[in-house]
Every structure is written in C-alpha cells, then in structure tokens.
Amino acid sequence: MTNKITKLPNSFFNWGSLTDDVMPLWMQETVKTIMLPIAGLLFFLFIWAAVAQNINTSLGEFPGPTKAFEQFQSLISEHNAEREKEVAFYQRQEDRNAARLAQDPSYQVKIRSYTGKPTFIDQIGTSLITVLTGFILASIVAIPLGIMIGLSKNLYAAANPVIQLFKPVSPLAWLPLVTMVVSAVYTSDDPLFAKSFITSVITVLLCSLWPTVINTAVGTASISPDLLNVSKVLRLKPMTHIFKVVIPSAIPMVFTGLRLSLGIAWMVLIAAEMLAQNPGLGKFVWDEFQNGSSNSLGRIMVAVLVIGLIGFLLDRIMLMLQRVFSWDKQAVLR
Amino acid sequence: MNATNKVINPILELTGVGIEFPTPKGSFKALTDVNLKIAKGEMISLIGHSGCGKSTVLNIVAGLLQATEGGAVLEGKEVNEPGPERAVVFQNHSLLPWLTAYENVELAVKTVFDKSKSKTEMKEWIEHNLNLVHMGHAMHKRPDEISGGMKQRVGIARALAMEPKILLMDEPFGALDALTRAHLQDSVMEIQKELGNTIIMITHDVDEAGLLSDRIVMMTNGPAATIGEILEIDLPHPRNRIELADDAKYNHYRQQVLSFLYEKQRKVEPLIKPTKKESSSAKQSA
C-alpha cells in the first residue's frame, strides 16, 4: 500500500512513467512511430496555411496547402491527358498507314515519334535517371579511389589537399566549365545522349564524388590495428587482405559516404537542370518561374515537396542497401 | 645468466635482444639485453608491471616489431617478419567481426594449408579445432553473438589451427571475468597436455602464471627493461587449482613472484602527479 502512495506523485509529474502505467507497449510504439510524425506534419501544414495567407506576390497570394494540392491534381490530369494524346497520335498514324498500305502495297511505312511537351511526371523520371547515372559513375570512381588513399598514408597526404580544395566547390561554379568542355569534346552526328544530359551528369559526378572518397578513405585508414596484425600473422596476400579484411571493415563508413553523396547529387542535380536546361524537375521549376501564370507558384510548391519526398526516398533506399550489405547489423542506422 | 636458463636444444632463442623507439625527444630504449632459451613443449609466462615491455618481447618474437639489437631465432631461422608458424592469440580476441567463428578459423586454415589440405580435410580440421576449445556448438555464430570468453576460445582455435611451432598469447584472459578465466585456463592446460605446444604467455596474474607455466620469466621495470629473474615451477602436470591453493611448494613459488614484483621491482608511482608550478617551486626552495 505504501508503495502505491509513494509512486503516485512521481508518475503524476513524469509523463513517461504515466504512459508506462496506462498504455500497453504496442500502443506506445504506435504513438511513437505513427502518431508523432503525423502530428509533426499536421503542425507544418497548419503553419504553412497560416503564413501563406499573409504573403502577397506579384503572381497573387502565396499558395497554401489547398492550392498546392489543386495544382498537384491538375499536373496529374495534364499528364494523363498528354498520355491519351500520345496514344491517339500513334493510333491515327497506324490507321493512316494501314489505309495507305491497302491502296498502295509498295508504300514504305514511316512512324513519326510523338513530340508533345514532357509532363511533370516525365520530368521526375528524367531527373531520377540523370541523378542515378551521375551518382553511380561517381561511386565507381570514388570507392576504389578512397580505398587506395586509405591504404597508404603517403597517398592520403598527397591527395588530401586536392580533395579538400574541390569538396566545397558549388555545382554552379563547375557548370559553365563542364558545359564548354562537353560542347567541345562531345561532338557526334548521332549523339546517344543529349549534351545537356551529359553536362548534368558530369556536374553531379564532380560534386557527389567527395563524400564517398573521404569516408571510404577514413573507413579504410581507421581499420583496427589488431585486425591488421591478424592479417600480418596470417601473411594474407594483398588482394585477400583488401577483400577479406579492409573492405568489410570500411563498409559502414563507405555507406555513410554514399548516403551523403546521393543527398548532394540530388541537390546539385536540381540546380544543374535549372541552368543547363536539361529536362527534369529543375527545368520544370525554372520554366514555371519564367511562365509566371497565377498557377506557377502552386506548381513550384508541388515540385519543392516532390523534390523533398524523392530525396527522402532515395536516402531510405540507401539505408535499406546498407542493411543488406553491412555486417554491422547492430550499428544505429539513421 | 640464470641457472634455469640453460636449455639444451632450444626451439626458440632470444640473444641480446634490445629495442629503441624513435621519439621526438630522441630515441627511447624500451628493452635491453633480453636472453632467453625455450625448449620444445615448454610453457613460459612473462610477468611484470604494465609498461615494462612484456608485449614488446612478444611482438619481437611474433615479428610484428623488429629488434634493434640482437634477435630471435626459431628452429635455426632468424625471425624478421610475422608468420603463421608463430601464431598469436591477441588480448582482445581480434576476430573479424563480419565472419562467423567457423569462417574466422577458415581464413587462417585456407592461408596456411592452401596446397597441403583438400577441401574436406580443411573442413574437418576447422571443426576439430573448434571442438578442441569447446566451440563446436556455436561455430556458425558471429563474434557479436557470443560472449567474451567464447570469442577468446575462437581466437585460440584460430591460432591452434595454424599448427604453429610456437604459440604466443598476449594477456589472453586479461579482459575476462574470474570464472571465465578459470575455465579458459583449464582449457589451455587440457590442450597443452594433448598437443604439447610450445607457449609463451604474457600475464599480470601471479596465480595464472603459477598454475600454467613450466617457467615464469619476471621482467624488470622499464625503461631499458630486461629479464630480472627466471623461476622454474617444478610441479607435476596436470595441476589442479584447488589442490595447489594448499600446496606449500606452490605457495613458496607464489611468494617469490610476489616478492619480485612488489619488493624488488616495486613500481613507485605518485598518486597525484605534481603540477609544473609546484615542482618548479619545489626546485627553488631546494
């Protein structure tokens, strides 16, 4: 009895222990993993709606959540309409060609491709392809480079100033140089990729290289000296040493670098697309800005949220890959 | 040197071993004139205060450090690089955390018996060694899934699986609790009885040294540490810790080691280090 009395005032002031007493564990988990994030999002929507009402621009009132949602729906329906138009376009061609073939069997069929304007959804697809190309190319360069630098103290000392010099460079500074070099070097009558695509990919690559290089090098260099001694006592061959001891030991740091790199790649891409006029979300935002209709701000707001959402999803995908590949299952993954 | 250091036909011979480390303030002499002969099948303990260079001696034998004076000769060949014929059991197990117990031993077996054993022979040999340290039941677990004592058992299995000419153990049980340590000491005695390995073991523990060794090598304090005394433990194997606790001869040996460590080589370390200001003012007053 006395126990109960001394406990009551305690749990009265301590919310944590109050919930311990009242709520079963599964309910506490639900609150933590679902309710609290939803509450955070609702709070954000509330602030957004409240602030938006009070901002007036030359293009009208700043779009609130409702307006942005309307624009989202209209972007989707535009996309569907465009797809229907495309299907109809090819259907018409086929009908026409069939008719001509019936008249004149020697007629050579020509199919003209549809040249409609890319929709918002198409732009998302283009952006994803560009960012992944740049990021994968960057990783192919960065991971072996990082391992090499991490293995040798001398190489590390030599490479470090170069890395530190280029790491903070903004993509906007690279872009003009890359554009000029690509125009000069990439000349072909029948290019496999558009020049703007190559420019964006290279810019993304140059900016997203460094976090992976640095983290891989640090991960490789900070391998436990005990494990190095094990490798020496076993007289492991250099390749066995790298693949059995060094790389597994560096894997958690490599993934930290890859996640940072992918985040940077996605941010850089949007800026590059705006300036390089490469089709994609960045160009979409820029075009809407130039367009300046009463719907433009709402559409840009949709793009902003979609950019954020995709960035978040890309990070989650990397995290899942890390869970699959890393031996360190107990490490805290955030 | 000491009368007990006269070993005929030694497997390992340390002659005039010394080592100097370069430091920014000039070179630091850690060891000097270490002479030791070890017979095949002998179990030697190195004991001394921390920082006296026990690990340095072991690392020179392992080939992880190079002696700047003298050298170590194993079966007529000078030691100048690490190798599996001088397997090391490290203090903190040093298992590769991304491999299971089996795979950790496998890595060693594959490198050492690359050409001389077939796949099935290797598998049998790995399992045999894990069973020897009583880890057969958990051989497919990763280091983070097993206890500290079990990890150290796997570390011993890995070293034994290399069929080393000499087994080097660097405070192998230092990080374990007393009960686990006793279990592992029994395991080591059992294995040594079966295989007759030559072992050098570093320890802080007087009882451990007395229980396991044929000879206890006592080191003086650094800098320029060397072997102070060598004590032969003339007790029959197998030894039993409970019987030994009441054995007059054993207690006499124990007393001798304790007297070496705490009287002859007493390490005087002030509890509170004087600050610069105090020591300089002390100088002035003097």
Complex ipTM: 0.82
Which chain B residue has its CA at the smallest distance from A236's CA?
B111
CB of B123 within 8 Å of a chain A CB? The answer is no
Peptide bond into A168 cis (omega under 30): no
Nearest to A233 among B84, B92, B98 (CB): B84
Q: Would you say residue A86 has pLDDT above 90?
A: no
Q: Would you say residue A132 has pLDDT above 90?
A: yes
Q: Would you say residue A136 has pLDDT above 90?
A: yes
pLDDT of residue A18: 47
Taking only Cα atoms into account, the Rg of chain A, rounded to an integer number of angstroms, comes to 28
pLDDT digits (tens, 9 = 90+) for A250-287: 998 999 999 999 999 999 998 888 887 788 888 888 88
Q: Which residues of A touch B81 (CB under 8 A)?
A: 232
Residues B235-259 as b or e (16 or more Cβ within 10 Å = b) = beeebeeeebeeeeebeebbebbee
Find residue B169's DSSP bridge partners.
B89, B201
pLDDT of residue A295: 83
Which chain B residue has its CA at the smallest distance from A251's CA?
B98
> Could you give the CA distance from residue B90 to residue B168 in angstroms, rounded to a whole number?
8
Q: Would you say residue B283 has pLDDT above 80?
A: no
* Total-model pTM: 0.78
CB of B88 within 8 Å of a chain A CB? The answer is yes
Which chain A residue has its CA at the smallest distance from B95's CA?
A227
Q: How far is A146 from chain B (nearest CA, A)?
A: 21
The secondary element (H helix, E strand) that includes residue A62 is: none
Q: Would you say residue A307 has pLDDT above 60?
A: yes
Q: How far is B95 from chain A (nearest CA, A)?
A: 7
Nearest to A226 among B83, B94, B108 (CB): B94
AA identity, residue B45 = S
Nearest to B82 among A235, A245, A327 (CB): A235
- Inter-chain CB proximity B98 and A248 less than 8 Å: yes
Nearest to A244 among B81, B97, B107 (CB): B107
- Inter-chain CB proximity B90 and A232 less than 8 Å: no
pLDDT of residue A182: 86
CB of B113 within 8 Å of a chain A CB? The answer is no
Query: CB contacts < 8 Å between A and B, how many?
Result: 53
Nearest to B96 among A232, A233, A245 (CB): A245
pLDDT of residue B268: 65
- Inter-chain CB proximity A227 and B94 less than 8 Å: yes
- Inter-chain CB proximity B111 and A327 less than 8 Å: no
Instruction: Provide the phi-psi class of A235: left if phi over 0, else alpha when psi is between -120 and 50, else beta.
Output: left
Q: Would you say residue B107 has pLDDT above 80?
A: yes
pLDDT of residue B104: 93
pLDDT digits (tens, 9 = 90+) for A14-29: 555 445 556 778 888 8
Whether residue B232 contacts residue B253, with contact meaning beta carbons closer than 8 Å, is answered with no
Nearest to A229 among B64, B83, B162 (CB): B64
pLDDT (average), residues B104-133: 90
Burial class (CB within 10 angstroms; exposed 0-12, middle 13-18, buried 19+) of B31: buried
- Inter-chain CB proximity A229 and B88 less than 8 Å: yes
pLDDT of residue B281: 45
pLDDT (average), residues B234-259: 88
- Inter-chain CB proximity B90 and A226 less than 8 Å: yes
A-facing residues of B in 140-199 (CB < 8 A) are 142, 144, 162
Among B98, B109, B142, B166, pick the best mutation site for testing chain A contact (most A Cβ within 10 A).
B98
Nearest to A235 among B84, B94, B96 (CB): B84
> Could you give the CA distance from residue A71 to residue A306 in angstroms, rounded to a whole number?
12
pLDDT of residue B273: 57
Q: How far is B211 from chain A (nearest CA, A)?
A: 28
> Could you give the CA distance from residue A137 to residue A153 in angstroms, rounded to a whole number?
26
- Inter-chain CB proximity B97 and A245 less than 8 Å: no
Both structure tokens of A51: 């602030």
Among B2-6, B10-14, B112-116, B257-261, name the one with the lowest average pLDDT.
Answer: B2-6
pLDDT of residue B271: 61
Q: How far is A18 from chain B (nearest CA, A)?
A: 35
Both structure tokens of A132: 């992944």
For B24, phi and psi rounded to 5 degrees? -60, -25
Q: How far is B279 from chain A (nearest CA, A)?
A: 38
